[in-house]
Amino acid sequence: MDLLNYFSDWDDVVEFKKKSQLFHELDEADYMFVILSGEVEVTLRGEPLGAEIEGGVIGEMALINNARRSATAVALKKTRVARVDRENFRRIVRDNPDFALHIMAVMANRLRVADQIIAG
């Protein structure tokens, strides 16, 4: 799914300056983010887990299961994101099964990475 195209005219777009924090571990999760431009590093207890670039998503896991944030996200450069709240997320999933499949694929890939980290 082409998230950049889907969210190109999204109403809730936020800009973050370089080194700005999008969210922190244990924050409440009110939004997930689609990166429209820029780059965001995701860390866990200060250890890098990876980075997401234009077209990537972050913050979806805590939004889906109503949990607190499990990681911290920081803009590595000026970054624009589409901010998606829980209500809009549910609407998009209901109206666009490709979006739901895309989010599941993202989460499956993150689980594989976590398995590799745990395995050493």
Q: Report the predicted TM-score, pTM, of the whole model to 2 decimal places.
A: 0.92
Looking at residue 44, its pLDDT comes to: 86
Scanning 1-120, the segments in alpha helix (DSSP H) are 3-6, 60-64, 86-95, 97-119
Looking at residue 22, its pLDDT comes to: 97
What average pLDDT does the chain have?
93
Q: Is the pLDDT of residue 113 over 90?
A: no
High-pLDDT (> 90) share of the chain, %: 74
Tens-place pLDDT, residues 27-62: 999 999 999 999 999 998 888 888 999 999 999 998
CA atoms of 68 and 95, how far apart (whole Å): 26
